[in-house]
Structure 1
Amino acid sequence: MADFDALLYLQTIANHIQDAVYVINKQGDELFYNNKIERFEPSQRQHLLDELRGVFRTGNPSFDKYTKYITVDRREVHMLSTIIPIEKQGEVVAVCSINKNITEMTNLLNKIYKLQEQLHNYCHYSDNLQNGTTYTFACLIGESPQMSTAIDKAKKAAFNLAPILLTGETGTGKEIFAQSIHNYGPAKSQPFVALNCAAIPETLLESMIFGTTKGAFTGAENKSGLLEQAGKGTLFLDEINSMSLVLQAKMLRVLEEKKFRRLGSNREELMNCRIISSTNVDCRDLLVKNKMREDFFYRVAVVNLNIPPLRERQQDILLLAKYFINKFSKIYSKQLTKLSTDLEETFLNYSWPGNVRELCHVLENAVSFSENETTLTAAYLPDYFHKHSPIPSHTVELANIQNQTLPQALEKFEGQLIINALTASKGNITKAALSLGIHRQNLQVRLRKLGITKNVHFVAQE
């Protein structure tokens, strides 16, 4: 009875996994299989059976063997199979096959490759994007000490071919910095290739970076990866914190040895490009949480540049606002030339969680709705700006922050503002986020960062 129960449990579990499982004995009898084996047509199932019988003769397992076959209705199916002998007292008594259908993955990868080729052709024939870039340091607007320091460090790093890690919140302009560094350095005539690691499924990311050979697990033809496409230029890996620990280990080897292999190839290729990476998360937190390898961090961040958030460079807010007003006035055929006093005050009192990207979005929205006037007013701001609480003058006393650095003072100020919002909302995160003009998830991140949840208690009113 126990054996029957165990088999029932095993069959139920096997029927709920995505891979097809098939087990036979020496006589070729089917010992076990799950419902996914129905994917195989009779001819293909017979071919699989012959392969399993062959393992009884050799005793050798095979891993990730790629197979492509055409169904009777002319559909192309791509399969990845692992065949394992099961031994008892040194004798092979059964053979198990685990088969993964990678047809959808293969089709998606081929679509991505086609899009890459289209982008490459467009960049090749464009007068403005001959190396795949749009921005230079001239595109970075800012006169604050924080921004000036970041730009100076970036210019120095441009002539140092060591890997660079750009750290900054979402919307601070990390890719603009990456392109500017590329265009300022000696490899500016070479390609600049960018990849957002968070936007690509983990199963495809490795293939896109390293490339594939004919007959590899994806079933694709010989395709160069981004390491090859970048040539002697720059490969920009955006949101590298999304990269898995396994792929980090493989990239670590590339950074150390300056060599890589296409998937399915035994030949090593030289890496000639420079790696620039970016992250919107503090890597120290990732190291503590074991989401980033320490050895990988030291290799990918030989040069570590921090891009300051907009709230830490207030004197740049109005400078950027005037730039965007002029830009969008031309695009939308408006006559706007300046901001009203109340609008300037609103901008300076706002925390800008979305940084420069949010400022750009807000002004494009406002300019597009404005009438035939020369001064942009707060009336055209998005609705959430009107719900944003003004900064209370008594929140942080100057006597308490006069001996602190600007980041320390701003952090204290931010914490007090959040506490006020939470108190007013009786601890309701959603309402507090709405009053602060930020997303709920953004507020939760800030609460954890500032440790507010551990120190503040709220009592709901009856």
Structure 2
Amino acid sequence: MKPMADFDTLLYLQTIANHIQDAVYVINKQGDELFFNNKIERFEPSQRQHMLDELRSVFLTGKPSFDKYTKYITVDRREVHMLSTIIPIEKHGEIVAVCSINKNITEMTNLLNKIYKLQEQLHNYCQSSANLQNGTTYTFDCLIGRSPLMSAVINKAKKAACSPAPILLTGETGTGKEIFAQSIHNYGPANSQPFVALNCAAIPETLLESMIFGTTKGAFTGAENKPGLLEQAGRGTLFLDEINSMSLVLQAKMLRILEEKKFRRLGSNQEEPMNCRIISSSNVDCHNLLAENKMREDFFYRVAVVNLHIPPLRERQQDILLLARYFISKFNKAYGKQITRLSTDLEETLQNYSWPGNVRELCHVLENAVNFFDDNEATLTAAYLPDYFHKQSLIPMHTVEAATAQNQTLPQTLEGIERQLIIRALAASKGNITKAALALGIHRQNLQVRLKKLGITKNVQFVVK
């Protein structure tokens, strides 16, 4: 590669430096400014002179400094908190320049304090609104479903509740993973202890670690002695929702905690015992994350000592109407309606829909329908469903006609269509199960179950007709 001219190099570096959030400042032995970006403009003259003095001292000591905390007050009385790293730059063993990288952590500190306040408010709200005294609302009695798949996973969950082993709940969005987590907690021996939940995807990565582990005063600007969620959970349960959003770095730290049952608050050298049980959840197939190097294999095996898969609503079709009647009864009370029955066309529509949003979508759809329900009627019909329900593409008529000609039952017809779709997806992906599952919009585990059930071998030479 042809080396760039000095001017071009400086231009590129300046453009890049102007788009990072940290202030960069470089001087030579004479104190001349060699390089700086536009973030340096937020420093007032007095603070800039102080920074210059610190850089000059490094020419004498030759020692770098990392994450040095500085606080100063601006002329308009604003408090600014900085973390500075100062690095000597050597050439032929001689220090020729010193670079300072300055991170303004004022906003981060303010945001962290706001999150702590919201967390406290949420905790107080949960204590006042929950049905139970441990911060939960749900038990296994709240889980509605009589299908074999749902009954099987509930039985497994009850057995797992009696063990202290970490549990990983997997399932699509809206399948009820947190309801299962709370139910497991309330069924277990530590049900009188706190249940603490955290959505890993909703918290910025820079703050997630401090929320889980807690902080020690002086760990960073504005940090106070605050217990993290591991401490708040006590001997109860810490539920980490959407753990698939956790970075590889934090996964490594959580792995150590799970193995050693000890942790440290940020900024502390003292180890604390971890007494709570960890239940986590993922709405993404963790095997795909492992294949894409987005999840550590050792972390997965530690956090998923017990792995429970919550089936999507489309795989437990006989539970759809059961759930629908439950939600209608609930919304009758909430909105003062008198819906006494569901029409045949509504029942058929609900059962034939694929429910990509699962139970959460069913709940939303029915609440929407109840809101528009005519108080003079008693039967809820498909006409009250959202518009997109009336635009669903139907099964091609030639498929229906062929099934009718062969006197096939509805289950036989649906199984035939399912077989065709799976074979086509496998053909398009050249037998790759992961890619085929992605194209079908289902989890890899679900596709493997279907392949076994339908007797389809993924290695067969598929031909798309």
Which residue number in structure 1 is paired with residue 441 of structure 2? 446
Greater CA deviation, 311-320 or 79-88? 79-88
What CA deviation, in whole Å up to 9, does each residue of 1:361-380 have, x standing for no partner? 11111111111322211111
Higher mean displacement: 19-28 or 108-117? 19-28
User: In 2, Cα distance between the equivalents of 1:456 and 1:106?
Assistant: 59
- My pick for the range that moved more, 207-216 or 344-353, is 207-216
- Which residue of structure 1 lines up, in the alignment, with residue 351 of structure 2? 348
Alignment of 1:233 onto 2:236: yes
In the TM superposition, residue 330 of structure 1 has moved relative to its aligned partner by 1.1
Structure 2 residue ranges without an equivalent (≥5): 427-436, 448-457
Quote the offset at 1:339 in angstroms.
Answer: 0.8
- Once the two structures are superposed, the pairs formed by residues 172-187 of structure 1 within 5 Å of their partners are 172-187=175-190
Mapped to 2, the partners of 1:202 and 1:148 lie a distance apart of: 37
Q: How far 1:108 moved relative to its partner?
A: 1.5
**1:17 deviation in Å?**
2.2
Give the percent of matched residue pairs that are identical in Structure 1 and Structure 2.
81
Q: Give me the CA root mean square deviation.
A: 3.2
Deviations 1:279-318 (A, max 9, x none): 1111111111111110110011000000011111111111
Q: 1:334 maps to which residue?
A: 337
State the 1:126 CA deviation.
5.1
CA distance in 2, matches of 1:384, 1:214: 54
* Corresponding position of 2:137: 134
- Count of matched residue positions in the alignment of Structure 1 and Structure 2: 430
**TM-score (structure 1 length as normaliser):** 0.85
| Structure 1 residue 446 displacement after superposition | 2.2
The answer as to whether partners of 1:171 and 1:354 remain within 8 angstroms in 2 is yes
Amino acid at match of 2:178: E
Determine whether 1:317 maps to 2:320.
yes
What does 1:157-306 align with in structure 2 at a 5 Å threshold?
157-306=160-309
In structure 1, the gaps of 5 or more residues are: 420-441
**Cα deviation 1:225-265 (Å, max 9, x = unaligned):** 11111111111111111111111111111111111122222
Residue identity opposite 1:107 in structure 2: N
Shift in Å, 1:417: 11
| Deviation readout 1:6-48 (Å, 9 max, x if unpaired) | 3333333322322111112334333222221111112222222
Residue 25, structure 1, aligned to residue 28, structure 2: yes
Mean Cα deviation higher: 263-272 or 326-335: 263-272
Distance 1:259 1:56, change over 3 A: farther
In 2, the alpha carbon distance for the partners of 1:410 and 1:151 equals 30
Counterpart position of 2:388: 384
Q: Match of 2:59, as an amino acid?
A: F
**Letter matched to residue 67 of structure 1:** T
Q: Report what 2:368 is aligned to.
A: 365
State which of 155, 173, 182 in structure 1 corresponds to 2:158. Answer: 155
Secondary structure at 1:370's aligned position in 2? coil
Q: Moved runs in structure 1, 4+ residues, more than 6 A?
A: 395-399, 407-410, 416-419, 442-445, 447-451, 455-458
Is the contact made by 2:170 and 2:309 (CA closer than 8 Å) also made in structure 1?
A: yes
CA distance in 2, matches of 1:414, 1:289: 26
CA–CA distance in structure 1, aligned partners of residues 172 and 112 of structure 2: 30
Q: Distance in 2 between matches of 1:213 and 1:338?
A: 58
Contact 2:263 2:271 in 1 (8 A): yes
Farther-moved stretch of structure 1 (1-10 vs 158-167): 1-10
1:155 partner letter:
K
- What amino acid is aligned across from residue 212 of structure 1 in structure 2? T
Q: Which moved more, 1:24-33 or 1:344-353?
A: 24-33
- Bigger Cα displacement from structure 2, 146-155 vs 268-277: 268-277
Whether 2:53 is the aligned partner of 1:50: answer yes
Q: Secondary structure at the match of 1:194?
A: strand
SS at match of 2:138: coil
1:375 match: 379
Letter in 1 for 2:371: S
Q: Map 1:9-20 onto structure 2 (within 5 A).
A: 9-20=12-23
Distance 1:292 1:119, change over 3 A: same
The one-letter code sitting in structure 1 at the alignment partner of 2:182 is Q
Q: Distance in 1 between matches of 2:270 and 2:463?
A: 59
Query: Which deviates more, 111-120 or 59-68?
Result: 59-68
